[in-house]
Structure 1
C-alpha cells in the first residue's frame, strides 16, 4: 500500500503537468512533491519522462494514474454509503416468513420499479434462520413471529396475522367428523398451527393426528393447491391464503375465537438502519396497515 500523500502528489502532477502547479494545488513545497514522486519511482520504476516544459507519463505512470482514479472512486462510494444520503439507491436485504413473503413480494417489486436505483434482496426463512442472518449482517431487516430477547436486535411490532382453517370451496365443515372425511394437507408447521387453531374451533377434539393425512408440501406457495382441488383442508397464516391465485376454489371457515400472532420487524440495534432500508420498511408498514389482517 502506497502512502496516500505520495499518490496525491503524483495525481496532481499528472493532471497539472508541472511540479510547481502541483505543489500549489496541494499546499506543499515543490521539493515535497518531487520527493513523493521519487519515492514512488523507487518502488515502481520510472513513472515520468521529464522535459523542459512538460512531463510525459510512462506506461507505468499511466497505469498508476488509473489506479489512483480507482481509489478516488472507491473513496467516493464509501463516503456516500457512510453518509447514507440517498434513500432510493443501494442494496436492501429483507428476510421474512414464507407466508408474509408471498404477500409482500409484489409490494417490494412495485417499490423497486418506482425506485430503480434500489436492489431489494428478499428471502423466505423460519424465525431461527432470520435471527442468524440479521445478526450476521447478511440482511438489513427481518420479520419474525416471536419477539427476540437478544439485546443486539431491535424489534418493533410490524403486523398481526391470524391462522385460518381453509377448506375446498364446496366442502361442508360443521364438525370434527367433517374434517376427518376431508383429510389434512400438511406442511412444515402444519400440525402445530392446526393444533393451536382447531383446539379453539372444536374444543375437546381428539387431535390433528386423528385426521387422515392427504398430502404434504414444504413450498408455501403450493400449500393451498391440493385444497383447491378438493383433496383436503389445511391451517395456514392469513397472508399465505391472501396470496393464493385461485381464491374462488377455497373457503375460509369463520372462527369465533381466532388465533392471532404478532409479527415483529427486527434489525441490528447497535447502529441506525440505512435510509433506504427505513424507506422500504415504511412502505411495507403503510400497505400492511391498509388491510385488515384478521
Structure 2
C-alpha cells in the first residue's frame, strides 16, 4: 500500500510545481518533501525531472498523479458518506418476502415521495434469501415471519400479519378431505405459511399429503389459479386483499385467521442510519392504520 503522506507530498508538488511551494502548502520542510519523493522513486522509479524553475512529471509520475487523484476522490466519497449517516437523504435498501412487499412497497414509495433526497431500493425474496442478504450486508433492512436466532442480527418486533386459507369462491370445503381434492397452489413462501396455518387448523395433518396443483413466484398472480378453481393457497391478508378479482375467491373461516408476528432485522454490529430508521418508523405508523 502506498504511504499516504508520501503520496500527498507528490500530488501537492505536482500541483504547486516547486518543492518550496509544496512544502509551504503542506506545512512541512523542503527536506521532508524531498525525502517523501525519494522514497516513492525508490519504489516506482523516476517520477520527476527537476528543472531550475520547477519540476516536470515523467510518464510514471503522470501515472502516480492519476492514482493519487483517484485516492483523493475515494477519500472525499468516504467522508461524504460518513457525514451523511445522520441525514435523511441517501439510499435505504430493504428486502422482504413478496407477500409482505405487497403492503409495504406502496408505503415505501409514499415515504420516498415525502422525503426529498431519499432513495428506496426494495427487493422481493423468499425468507431464506432475506436473512442471507441482510447477513451479507447487501441490504440494510429485512422483514421475516420467523424470528431468527443469530447473534449477528438485531431483531425487533415489526407488525402482525394474519394468514388466510384462500379457496375458490364456489368451492365447498368443510374438512381435510376437501382440501386434498382441491390441491395446493404453492409460492416461494407457500410451504412455510401453509404448514404453520394448517398445523393449527387441522392438527395432525401434514401439508405433504396435499397434491401441489400449481406454483408461481409472481406474488400478484398467486391467487389467479385459485380464482380459476385449480386449488387453494395460504397468504397474508394484505396479499389477498391486493388481488383484483375478490369475487372469485373466498377466505375459509374468515373469522379464524392465524395471526403471526413479523420481525425486522438488520446487522447488530452498527446502528441503522437515520434515514433507514426514519423509513422503519414511518412504516410502523402507516401499517398500524391498515
Measured in 2, the distance between the counterparts of 1:210 and 1:62 equals: 68
* Partner residue in 1 for 2:139: 139
CA-to-aligned-CA distance 1:174-215 (integer Å, 9 cap, x gap): 73399459723332426414514644xxxx8x9577997471
* Partner residue in 2 for 1:62: 62
TM-score (norm 2): 0.82
Measured in 2, the distance between the counterparts of 1:35 and 1:8 equals: 13
TM-superposed CA distance for 1:231, in Å, is 2.9
The alignment partner of 2:255 has SS state of: coil
CA RMSD across the alignment: 3.2
Structure 1 unaligned spans of 5+: none
Measured in 2, the distance between the counterparts of 1:143 and 1:99 equals: 11
Q: Does 1:192 align with 2:195?
A: yes
Q: For residues 1-294 of structure 1, what are the structure 2 equivalents within 5 Å?
A: 1-83=1-83, 84-90=85-91, 92-109=92-109, 111=111, 118=119, 120-126=121-127, 128-169=128-169, 171=170, 173=172, 175-176=174-175, 179=178, 183-187=182-186, 188-189=190-191, 191-196=194-199, 198-199=201-202, 207=205, 213=211, 215-219=213-217, 220-291=219-290
Q: Determine if contact 1:95/1:125 at 8 Å carries over to the other structure.
A: no
The alignment partner of 1:256 has SS state of: helix
Structure 1's consecutive aligned runs of 4 or more residues displaced over 4 angstroms after TM superposition are 109-117, 177-182, 206-214
Equivalenced residue count is 283
TM-score (norm 1): 0.81
CA-to-aligned-CA distance 1:2-47 (integer Å, 9 cap, x gap): 2111111111111122211111111110111122122222322332
